[in-house]
Chains A and B, each alone.
Chain A
Amino acid sequence: MSVTVRIPTILRTYTGGQAEVKAEGATLGEVISDLEANHTGIAARVLDDQGKLRRFVNVYVNDDDVRFEQGLQTATPDGAGVSIIPAVAGG
């Protein structure tokens, strides 16, 4: 499954400044592994030491917050858009 991942500004040092990159994977977890393979260091920014999503990271698959879905097990269908967004906004 090929998806498009929107990269927040603070992670663009890992993607050579690109705001969007392509990645492969049937689940969000697999997509993050694929990102790490091509952009070394990015996974450790998004995941904590236990391999879970950091608490101040929001990830959306299309329009769905993965915390309302299956977290890292959330399916990422072919052509899906994945957005990684800092959670510390708003209010």
Chain B
Amino acid sequence: MAAQIVATESTTVDLGPATALSCRECGHRVPLGPLFACEECFGPLEIAYDFSSYDTEELRKRIEAGPANIWRYAPLLPVPADVADKPNINPGWTKLVAADNLARELGVEAGKLFVKDDSGNPTHSFKDRVVAQAIEAARAFHFTTLSCSSTGNLAGAVGAAAARAGFRSCVFIPHDLEQGKVVMAAIYGGELVGIEGNYDDVNRFCSELIGDPAGEGWGFVNVNLRPYYAEGSKTLAYEICEQLGWRLPDQLVVPIASGSQLTKIDKGLQELIKLGLVEDKPYKIFGAQAEGCSPVSVAFKAGHDVVRPQKPNTIAKSLAIGNPADGPYVLDIARRTGGAVEDVNDEQVVDAIKLLARTEGIFAETAGGVTVGVTKKLIDSGLLDPTKTTVVLNTGDGLKTLDAVAGTGLTATIRPSLESFREAGLA
């Protein structure tokens, strides 16, 4: 069965099935290039593809025979066909953990709850997926320096990928990030610059730098390479479905920072349906935010279709984007699929980190605490059905946010003797 998703357009850049950039707001099209905003309406540019030549069963076999990383999905991504042979960090194919212990704690039916654990990526967050895409676009457009605005995880992913693929890197972060993320970003040898301000200030700075001669020749993975970069999040959707035996989950709980990941997971699921790789059936996408940075959750609950920016104040710094670029689309998707957007406070985030660690042996960073905490809240409020197959995302490693669980430590300190062991009540 062939699937026609978009019309074809010619291009001289070899990025596989990608044919053009298309504005999500007004549909205006431009050739593939390092562009991110529509010249007509400022709307986000997205990749348009030609998947018309694909036969469903051949495509499924090709994917299943592919490498154990995101390049198994190369036919569905803006990358050249020989991408697996190029130096890159090759992320993905992370574990989909059957979370039966957590399910028992949350009152979810046995066998129905899964955690997609993206802490298993090369730099221990989902950001490796998107950066791997941006590397290929940077190569195609002949950039030599890679950059980004980052809440921490992305800075590390860019540093590592740049080192591996032979690019210079210079990345920008808020000056007050967690030490684990700062070290993780700096260790790869690129330049790491702290900006006196929050993430939205950093992002503004990068957007201005890109239009200045000082930033000429720089590929900002989440600015002028953003349309390519963002497609990496589709691979989460592809993997989840393939790991479920080419089935759609009924419900997904996804963290929201800019909202890009959630919108691309939805895009990935829609592509699988149109390509015939999964059955066409309803699914619900739930968004998760921290209360201290909850512009999308607030807008969802108020019934608004625009997002009013907030000044972030939460321990979930990887989600602390007060002015989320894809917020309006998250609202559209949550409403279209029958999902919701919910938030939890910092105390609930910490409790959820500990709950996931205690039940499943997964140490999540604060963003994982947000998704697990929100899952619990959604079940308690009846919005999430505990009898349906549900996938909760953990997008990063708890070792990066140790401060969030400070105070967790030794049960006891004893002398090296059996007597002392017994005295401490440990026998």
Name A's B-contacting residues (CB within 8 A). Answer: 6-10, 13, 19, 45-46, 54-58, 60, 63, 65, 67-68, 83, 85-91
Contacts and interface: CB of A to CB of B under 8 A. Distances in A.
Nearest to B257: A91
Contacts, number: 98
Question: Chain B: interface secondary structure?
Answer: loop
A60 B208 CA distance: 11
B211 A87 contact: no
B208 A90 contact: no
B22 to A, nearest CB: 13
B199 A90 contact: yes
A45 B25 CA distance: 13
A19 B214 CA distance: 13
Given A56-B41, A67-B309, A88 B325 contact: yes
Nearest to A87: B325
A10 B30 CA distance: 12
B415 to A, nearest CB: 52
A45 B41 contact: yes
Q: Which of B37, B42, B206, B226 has the most CB of A within 10 A?
A: B42
Interface of B: 25, 35-45, 149, 199-201, 203-204, 206-208, 210-212, 220, 222-223, 226, 230, 257-261, 306, 308-309, 321, 323-326, 328
B343 to A, nearest CB: 18
Contacts of B199: 90
B260 A86 contact: no
A7 B308 CA distance: 24
B309 A68 contact: yes
Nearest to B130: A91
Nearest to B206: A89
Contacts of B222: 89-91
B43 A88 contact: yes
Contacts of A88: 36-37, 42-45, 226, 325-326
Nearest to A91: B258
Given A87-B323, A89-B222, A45 B40 contact: yes
A45 B23 CA distance: 14
Contact of A89 (B43, B149, B201): B149
A90 B264 CA distance: 14
Nearest to B220: A89
A54 B309 CA distance: 15
7 smallest CB-CB distances across A and B, nearest first, come from: A91-B258, A86-B37, A88-B44, A90-B203, A56-B42, A91-B260, A89-B223
Contacts of A60: 204
10 contacts: A56-B25, A56-B41, A83-B204, A88-B43, A89-B203, A90-B199, A91-B230, A91-B261, A91-B325, A91-B326
A19 B212 contact: yes
A6 to B, nearest CB: 7
B321 A85 contact: no
Contact of B306 (A45, A55, A65): A55
Given A88-B36, A89-B325, A91-B258, A54 B42 contact: yes
B36 A86 contact: yes
A28 to B, nearest CB: 16
Nearest to B328: A55
A36 B194 CA distance: 37
Contact of A67 (B37, B230, B308): B308
A57 B42 contact: yes
B340 to A, nearest CB: 21
A7 B210 CA distance: 12
B414 to A, nearest CB: 48
B42 A86 contact: yes
A10 B41 contact: no
Nearest to A13: B39
Given A56-B37, A86-B36, A87-B42, 19 more contacts: A7-B211, A8-B37, A8-B207, A9-B210, A19-B212, A45-B41, A58-B204, A63-B201, A67-B308, A67-B323, A85-B208, A86-B207, A88-B326, A89-B149, A89-B203, A89-B207, A89-B220, A91-B222, A91-B321
A88 B204 CA distance: 11
B212 A90 contact: no
A63 B94 CA distance: 41
A72 B200 CA distance: 21
A83 B208 contact: yes
Given A10-B37, A56-B25, A58-B204, A90 B42 contact: no
A58 to B, nearest CB: 7
Nearest to A67: B309
A65 to B, nearest CB: 6
Q: Which of A9, A46, A60, A86 has the most CB of B within 10 A?
A: A86
Q: Which of A9, A65, A89, A91 has the most CB of B within 10 A?
A: A91
